Amino acid sequence: MTNDANKMWGGRFAAGPDAIMEAINASIGFDQRLARQDIQGSRAHAAMLAATGILTNSDAEAIREGLLTVLSEIETGEFAFSTALEDIHMNVEARLKELIGEPAGRLHTGRSRNDQVATDFRLWVRDQCDAAHSGLRALQIALLNQAEAGADWVMPGFTHLQTAQPVTWGHHMMAYVEMLGRDASRFADARARMNECPLGAAALAGTSFPIDRDATAQALGFDRPMANSLDAVADRDFALEFLAASSITAMHLSRLAEELVIWSSAQFRFVTMSDRFSTGSSIMPQKKNPDAAELVRAKIGRILGATVGLFTVMKGLPLAYSKDMQEDKQQVFDAADSLMLSLAAMEGMVADMSANPDALRVAAASGFSTATDLADWLVREAGLPFRDAHHVTGTLVALAESTGVDLPDLSLDQMMSAHPAITDAVFGVLGVDNSVKSRTSYGGTSPDQVRSQIAFWKERLG
């Protein structure tokens, strides 16, 4: 019977159903990443227990020293993690007992694994918000440097990936600085909202011991303790908000990565990617592949997938704690890893890439990119309603296309054939340089506006 049962469960689990339960129940394979936060929380809890007289000072000191020893063993790789002990909390507590004996058993007074893991995880995610904020800042600085170098380099601006109007390289780089600035603010906002301490909520109802939750919250850098013990152990909004902010950031990185893939192609030649972030082909010796950009472009799949995954885990759970919530960590860990790697890779690519101003300028002049400037001139100088100016400009674009020239190359007679109010002053607004210099409205692409925004962000980022 036992042999048949083992065959039913499969060769992976030689001990039968007990091994299955241990495998599905244990989280130490991934939650050992919370070791530093777990020990940090335990030290704060022990200090509070001593300060309130729940724990003797000698026991608290033994616990403090023992926890430091455990942390050292973990950081040096000497610690032996046990699946039988299920999670990081029990692994640390068991080793603490081996080191200091009976006082270790008093550490858990006034708390539960429910509020313990909620605190550990919140501390870890809070650290990741800080890390993401730093990574975003580094990438913004790399983009600012590119923008400053090419504040007046003319390039095509696109809509529908078709040439629309000339813009500057600096203006394009600054668009991503703005996007990433919003990303950074989302992580900052999420961090502020999650900065409340679950510790002391115990299993779900609080504790009868006279604990000081304000003291542990302060010791762990939280603004305050969470106000409802049920919510404290049941909430994973902080992780969901981190994932949501990560997903939006990853989407922005993916858009930039896509542009780098396009721009570095032989058809565009807008940029040259450094060898550090490119690979070759196993069969085509001429190839230089933007693999780092392509991988950053793909990371949104993993990060957004983690977001959907955790929403799905949490969506039907009654208050307060359910074992389902053990499935909250792996996807957050993976998303955080993917995000930080993507930010670092993108910073490296942006810092190292070289723009090709000549190719940018040639492309900027293609596709009748100054047609809008002509229409604006007709409104401003000839007094035409914009819709009429739009029609006249369209007529001249068709004429230029049929004769194989660009708008600035049409003669004045050809221009006047579309409307007699056109004078030779129109040529002062045509041409890509004139076009970008004229876009002086706040947030526009003129080099002066771009340099103003660069100065603003330099001061803001410090």
Active site (catalytic) residues: 160, 281
3-state class (DSSP) for residue 199: coil
Distance of CA 427 to the CA centre of its chain: 46
DSSP 385: -
Strand, coil or helix: 166: strand
- Maximum distance among all alpha carbons in the chain? 100
Long-range interactions of 432-441: CB distance < 8 A, separation 24+: 432/154, 432/166, 432/361, 432/364, 432/365, 432/369, 432/370, 433/154, 434/370, 434/373, 435/165, 435/166, 435/369, 435/370, 435/373, 436/152, 436/154, 436/166, 436/167, 436/168, 436/171, 438/373
Amino acid at 362: V
DSSP conformation class of 315: T
- Distance, CA of 345 to CA of 258 (rounded, Å): 14
Cβ(180)–Cβ(252) under 8 Å?
Answer: yes
DSSP structure string for 328-342:
GSHHHHHHHHHHHHH
Phi, psi dihedrals of residue 233, rounded to the nearest 5°: -90, -20
